Structure 1
Amino acid sequence: MDKRIAAGILFSLVFSFSYAQEISPFGKFLKDSVMVGEEVQYSLSVRYPLDWQLVFPDSTYNFEPFEYYAKNYFPTRIDSTHAFDSAVYTIASFEVDLIQKLQLPVYLLNGNDSTVILANPDSVFLKELVTMMPDSLKFKENVTYQAVDYAINYPYLMIGLGVLLLLLIGTYFLFGNAIRKKIKLYRMRKAYEKFSLEFERGIIRIKQSETNAELIEQILVTWKKYMEKIEDRPFTKYTSKEILKVGFEKELKTVLQTIDRSIYGAIGDEEMHKNFEALEDFTLERYREAQKKVSIEKAEPIIKKKSRDEERKIKNTSLSNFGMTPRDLYIETSNGGRFVIYYYTISILVMTFKRSSKVYFLKGSENGIKQGLIFSLISFLFGWWGFPWGLIFTPHSLYVNFRGGKDITNEIVKTSK
């Protein structure tokens, strides 16, 4: 071993021993005995020369077999030659040894290094709650069925029902028209499929030479019943002449006259099935017309009437408010620009206020939903709490705002002329 390294180690040992001789840290438990997991206080104190720098252990120190909880440090006291520091640690042990020992250090700082000086060891005794364990344990058995009453959490139940009610109301006002339209189209399709199947069976029977008046009349009644549904007229009570008078003379005159001769005049027709096939084609066309009418039918707005607040803001807005000329407006609207307003709703129990924002101009590239987020947030937070109008106006406000606002470009153009 290098002589210089050996000399350094020897010097350090002598240096540390000399420091340990000058100071004596004192550690002591403040209780003699403790139970498992019970907190206990441990006091650490030391008296040392004024020109020394000492530090105590903190929460990063390993207090094994104890667990560290807290440290209470007291101000330094000094006299003419020495200083006195002390601290009380709150610790606990979860070990089951009858005697638990602890010996904490203090650290003497020497520039970039430190010297460890240990306090005296101290111990605490473990209190035993069970002094003697039996060789075996006997458990009491109870396997008898015990009925337990089912408890209903009524507050949560009411909250859940309230949320469900709000969702149903919101869904109705937001999507009610579209849902009703889809249901109507579905029912129309099922009704036509049922009619078509029954009518086709009748035509097949006619093709099989069953051209008696009773069968022909039965098939004609089937057709009238279906036409009554899609035309909303009492076809079952109409005679053939009355059916022609309501506007179908051009399409049905020859067909219905031929069918009437077979029913009432007993005049046979070998190609009777072609008359019913023509009637079937006509019915399909009328069904498609009715279907198209329902599909393009414009849904009525949830709230038709403009508020005075909205009318006033539209009336007081002109192109000059936005620094625009009619030519600028033409260019901007050609590129998708538009004037919009947003709604917001505020409720105070039995009182609900629905107001409109100022008029905004959105260029074709601007996101209308983003512009109206603040008004949607106000409605979402403060709109629901009025009954019943809060539950009606709030979904409407959110519906308009999340569609990019209400387009009022035509109204602004009219007021600017």
Structure 2
Amino acid sequence: MRKLLSTIVILTLPVLALAQQVLRPVGAFSSDSVKIGIPVTYTLVHRHPEKLEVILPGTNYNFSPFELVRKDFYPTVTKNGISTDSAVYTLRTFDTKALQALMLPVLVLQGKDTVRVNGDSSRVILQELVQKVNEPLQFKAETELVAVEKRFNWPVLLLWLVVGSLFFSLIWLIFGQTIKTKYKLYRLRKDHLYFASRYNAHVDRFVKTGVSQSMEKAVSLWKNYLTKLERSAINSFTTKEIVEFYDNNDEVNTALRLCDKAIYGNLLTEADTETKEALLLLRKFAKSRYKARREITKNAKNNRRHAGLAEPGMVQS
């Protein structure tokens, strides 16, 4: 037992001797008083022989009753064999004690040993903002409702937009082709009804008055309608080119030549049966082309199979 105590004394003597040779660090607050939660700075300065390795407290040190906000270290300054290390710690406290103290040590490295050298304790006074508290505490009731501005829920709107986009994309992916076909059929029917209404009006006016201008308007309307229906510039074609476009269809050929004769030959004195028949043939042909185009639209996926319906020479009643 005596040998063990002797060994411990021998080992600790150099450390104790070193601790006596090292000067104690000096620390001080920047102010004599502090408020709860308000930052205050603490400066720590330590002077020691140049050959010693000294470590100042870091961020992991317990600064209780204070909390560390920020630390600022400065480079070591050496003069005449004496080195000076310094650091500034920004602290704050939430402790309610009237008098609060802090003492920061330094660690001196000596081989495998570490010597802790404590400095003097520095104190600050906590400023009390509430000097007197009445007991029991008086509570004030506020029962009136306060108007709160209504905020628009943008995340919910964005969610609905995304869900709506996905839903309509799925609908379009499944039924898109059907929807486009239905819309095209609707446009075809609407255009044909509009053409038939105006064309019949011109024909009726021609039958009642015998004026060639009514026939000219009817033929012009017929050409414009087929131009849109066939997607070809039929309204710029001559009578011969129109007949060739429709594979020399006899009814189209006869009807257009009778109309040209009446319009440009000034041979029309009244709405005779032959001229009226020519206008009726043009209306019948336009209806047949509408039906053919409608069937092609319905069977867009099997367009090759139904290509015969698109032949200009076929006239359907």
1:78 maps to a residue whose letter is: T
What whole-Å deviation, never above 9, does each CA across 1:186-229 have from its counterpart, x for those lacking one? xxxxxxxxxxxxxxxxxxxxxxxxxxxxxxxxxxxxxxxxxxxx
Q: Which AA in structure 1 matches 2:158? A: I
CA deviation map 1:393-415 (0-9, x unaligned): xxxxxxxxxxxxxxxxxxxxxxx
Q: 1:69 to 1:36 in 2, by over 3 A?
A: same
| 1:27–1:119 contact (8 Å) kept in structure 2 | yes
Deviations 1:226-272 (A, max 9, x none): xxxxxxxxxxxxxxxxxxxxxxxxxxxxxxxxxxxxxxxxxxxxxxx
For 2:47 and 2:153, the matched residues in 1 are separated by 66
Q: How does 1:73-84 map to 2 (within 5 A)?
A: 73-84=73-84
Could you report, residue by residue, the CA deviation over 1:124-177 in whole angstroms, capped at 9, with x for unpaired residues? Answer: 111111111111111122324x27467251755653453344123212122337
Aligned AA for 2:32?
Answer: D
Whether 1:128 aligns to 2:128 is yes
- The match for 1:137 is 137
CA distance in structure 2 between the partners assigned to 1:92 and 1:149 by the alignment = 36
Q: d(CA) in 1 for partners of 2:134 and 2:178?
A: 74
1:67 aligns with 2:42: no
| SS of residue matched to 1:125 | strand
2:26 is the counterpart of 1:26: yes
The alignment yields a C-alpha RMSD, in angstroms, of 3.3
Tell me how far 1:9 sits from its aligned partner. 3.4
Q: How does 1:88-99 map to 2 (within 5 A)?
A: 88-99=88-99
Cross-structure match for 1:46: 46
Report if the CA contact (8 A) 1:41-1:88 is conserved. yes
Q: Which has the higher contact order (CA 8 A, sep 6+)?
A: 2
Q: Distance in 1 between matches of 2:146 and 2:69?
A: 45
Query: d(CA) in 1 for partners of 2:301 and 2:123?
Result: 86
The equivalences for 1:7-406 within 5 A come to 7-9=7-9, 12=12, 15-16=15-16, 18-144=18-144, 146=145, 148=147, 151=150, 153=152, 155-156=154-155, 159-176=158-175
Residues in 2 aligned to 1:55 and 1:99: alpha-carbon distance in whole angstroms: 28
Give the secondary structure class of the aligned counterpart of 2:75. coil
Query: 1:360-383, CA deviations, whole angstroms, 9 ceiling, x for partnerless residues?
Result: xxxxxxxxxxxxxxxxxxxxxxxx
Distance 2:18 2:168 in 1: 86
Shift of 1:62: 1.5
Read off the aligned partner of 2:175 and give its amino acid letter: G
The one-letter code of the counterpart of 1:121 is S
One-letter code aligned to 2:96: V
Letter matched to residue 140 of structure 1: K
2:199 is matched with which residue?
none
CA pair 138-50 structure 1, distance change in 2 beyond 3 A = same
Deviations 1:44-86 (A, max 9, x none): 1111111111111111221111112221110111112211110
Change (3 A) 1:50 1:120: same
- Tell whether the 8 Å contact from 2:15 to 2:115 is kept in structure 1 after alignment: no
Q: Distance in 1 between matches of 2:36 and 2:175?
A: 67
Which blocks of at least 5 consecutive residues in structure 1 are unaligned? 181-299, 306-417
Per-residue deviation, residues 12-51 of structure 1 (Å, max 9, x unmatched): 2574255334412101111111111222111111111111
Counterpart secondary structure, 1:129? coil
Structure 2 residue ranges without an equivalent (≥5): 180-297, 303-317
For 2:37 and 2:13, the matched residues in 1 are separated by: 39
SS at the partner of 1:46?
strand
Residues 178 and 113 of structure 1: CA distance in aligned 2, closer, same or farther (over 3 Å): farther
**Judging changes above 3 Å, is the alpha-carbon distance between structure 1 residues 9 and 97 closer, same or farther for their aligned structure 2 residues?**
farther
Cross-structure match for 1:336: none
Aligned to 1:72, the other structure's residue is in SS state strand
- Conserved? CA contact 2:103–2:120, under 8 Å: yes
1:92 is matched by which residue type in structure 2? R
Amino acid aligned to 2:152: N
Q: How far apart, in 1, do the equivalents of 2:148 and 2:117 lie?
A: 66
Equivalent-residue separation in structure 2 for 1:154 and 1:59 (angstroms): 43
Helix, strand or coil at the partner of 1:31:
coil
Alpha-carbon distance in structure 2 between the residues aligned to 1:48 and 1:147: 65
Amino acid at match of 2:5: I
Higher Cα radius of gyration:
2
Q: Is the 8 A contact 2:74 2:85 kept in 1?
A: yes
**Are residues 89 and 170 of structure 1, via their aligned partners in 2, closer, same or farther at CA, if it must alter by over 3 Å?**
same
1:103 deviates by 0.9
CA spacing shift, 1:160–1:114, aligned 2, 3 Å: closer
SS at match of 2:83: strand
Aligned to 2:138, what secondary structure does the other structure show?
coil
